[in-house]
Amino acid sequence: MLSILMEKKFKYKLVKNPFYFPIFKKDNKKITNTSLVIIWRNKKTGENKYLLQKRSKFMKNGKNKLGFPGGMIEKEDESLQFGALRELLEESQVLFKDANNISIKTIRQLLPYTFPLMKKQTNFTFYLIICSFTEPKVMGPIDFERKPFLKSSREVDLEDDKWNDKKLENRIKFGHAFLSKSEIFSRYKKEPQIWKYSKITVNNLLPIFEK
């Protein structure tokens, strides 16, 4: 059984991975990038929602598409999980802590709460589960550089706050939104669509958490 812990250092209850171990680049030489799916489990309704972002028009791949936070592994990344968390904080700034949220210490504290989902070609995807009554806060991409964090404001579309869906009005914050299973599937044909590589993640992730 997975353990749900509320530690004073975090704003939310997180599901801890009892089998966590660091996965290193040296043991996965073909892996060049990582991604991380944040799952918000609403403690009142029991519904799961998944954090997606709209990639900006400046992105080389998947521009103007919806996808999960992630990116290239950097030499400062201590493990693949470390890289995935760094990318999440760079692009989304999920507010795990009120103080020093964007820090190496925060990444290291979050490592035991990451779960491996899949390894596909050059990408390794992980997920992390937040359990709370209220939607986790997202502050959007950082606009500064402080090692190991890199400026990410050009990677996320901060202007489109509708995503061609009136139901998402006031739900899209800093280029990000938590979407339900049905809302995700509706994006397979509706613009902006789910990026093709993120569809692979969806098809592997949702069977685990949805009936």
Is the link from the previous residue into 112 a cis peptide, with omega within 30 of 0? no
- pLDDT tens-digit series, residues 144-197: 999 999 999 999 999 999 999 999 999 999 999 999 999 999 999 999 999 999
The CATH number linked to 116 is: 3.90.79.10
Q: Is residue 65 part of a domain?
A: yes
The whole model's pTM is what?
Answer: 0.94
Contact 56, 156 (CB under 8 A): yes
Q: Is residue 72 part of a domain?
A: yes
Q: Is the pLDDT of residue 1 over 50?
A: no
Distance of CA 4 to the CA centre of its chain: 19
Contact 131, 43 (CB under 8 A): yes
Q: Is residue 38 part of a domain?
A: yes
> How many structural domains is the chain composed of?
1
Q: Is residue 128 part of a domain?
A: yes
More confident residue, 211 or 126: 126
- pLDDT tens-digit series, residues 93-109: 999 999 999 999 999 99
Q: Is residue 82 part of a domain?
A: yes
Structural domain span for residue 189: 3-206
Specify the pLDDT at position 152: 95
Q: Is the pLDDT of residue 86 over 90?
A: yes
Q: Is residue 200 part of a domain?
A: yes
Specify the pLDDT at position 4: 55
Exposure string of 61-86, with b = 16+ CB inside 10 Å and e = fewer, is ebebbbbbbbbebeeebbbbbbbbbb
